[in-house]
Structure 1
Amino acid sequence: MEPYTQVCFVVRDFEKAVSQWTAIGAGPFYEVDMNLLPPDRSYRGEIATDTLRVARGFLGTTQIEIAAPINDSPSVYQEVLATRGEGLHHVQPSIKPTSPEQFDALCAKYEALGLEQAMAMVVPGIGRVVFYDGFEKLGYFVELTERSEQMHAAAMATYDAHLNWDGSDPIR
């Protein structure tokens, strides 16, 4: 598969959201181990203390991510829930393996457009992840990830699972 795009939705009820997406053919959804998030990630220049439940699955060639905050700590997810409620949170465009140099160039591009970093972290085994605040200009955040070949292959495995999915076991 060529590069794909991820669209993330922030919700309050994780199971309900998965059920709604699977009803229209998305899935299966693979829950992300959020214990892998580094403790030194930042949110608007401060240490982030939010926790959330996240799962990803495909609908066609689009990766759907569902994110449900677990605590009330300030975060990019709580920002959207507080100002607009549940719905579109962020887009991660043209996902493919990304070298450190390519990642730096993408970040420079978004910063040149006037978007500011709202959240940043380095995730072991994945690389750097940055959320740019496009909320006022675009209506959503933009996520960029320094993605290894292995991380991309793992996402492609979830895509292959989607192609052959029989509708059972929607959250894995």
Structure 2
Amino acid sequence: MSFLPGGPARQIAYFVPDAIEAATRHSALFGSGPYYVAEHIPLVTCLYYGEPSHFDHTSAYGQWGEVMVEFVQQNSTERSCFTDLYPDGKQGMHHVALIVDDLAASMRGFEEAGHPAALYAEVQPGAGFAMMDFVKELGHFIELYEPTEALLGVYDLVRSASIGWDGSDLIRKFGF
């Protein structure tokens, strides 16, 4: 297999039934946090293996050492790359995220290497992300997105809040 674009993993994400509960439990076990929770994240575009779909989800984002950790909760019942990997209320590690310079070109490269986009979504026009299917090889998905100002702002917010954090105010609401 040829080299696929993408830097080091910037985030590890878990699919869970309750994002706030999972974040609270992870913080108690590993000291991660604080967590920024976005509920019912709106998507202007959502494609499941290239077909129009709907994906209503809530995510909790926190810092865990050098990497961001995300807990994803699906609020809708539609089939998704999350419920494909973890059906019937199961939970577990779902994806690692990579920041790439060119999302469309990176998606093409991954697809040509046999890893289709299970999910392509945009939170606003032009601000997309993709879940590339690596389940057969790695047991999880690879999320790709470009280093937009908004995305890097979220990473900076989460990392900055973790520096010197005293464990108080664990759950903080925010929106996209």
**TM-score band, normalised by shorter chain:** 0.7 to 0.9
CA RMSD of aligned residues (A): 2.3
Taking structure 2 as the reference length, what is the TM-score of the superposition?
0.83
Q: 8 Å contact 2:107–2:117 — kept in the other structure?
A: no
Q: Deviations over 1:54-102 (max 9, x none)?
A: 1111101111000111222111111122189311101113x3xx54xx2
> What does residue range 1-172 of structure 1 map to in structure 2 within 5 Å?
5-23=10-28, 24-38=30-44, 40-82=45-87, 85-93=90-98, 95=99, 99=101, 102-124=102-124, 127-172=127-172
Structure 1: 5+ residue runs without aligned partners?
Answer: none
Cα distance in 2 for residues equivalent to 1:83 and 1:33: 22
Cα distance in 2 for residues equivalent to 1:67 and 1:91: 12
Change (3 A) 1:158 1:164: same
Shift of 1:157: 1.9
Structure 2: 5+ residue runs without aligned partners?
Answer: 1-6
Cα distance in 2 for residues equivalent to 1:126 and 1:171: 29
Number of equivalenced pairs: 165
Taking structure 1 as the reference length, what is the TM-score of the superposition?
0.84
Q: 8 Å contact 2:41–2:58 — kept in the other structure?
A: no
The 3-state SS of whatever aligns with 1:34 is: coil
Change (3 A) 1:28 1:41: same
Structure in which a larger fraction of residues adopt helix: 1
Cα distance in 1 for residues equivalent to 2:154 and 2:79: 30
The 3-state SS of whatever aligns with 2:95 is: strand
Shift of 1:26: 0.7
Cα distance in 2 for residues equivalent to 1:34 and 1:16: 16
Instruction: List 4+ stretches of structure 1 deviating above 6 A.
Output: none
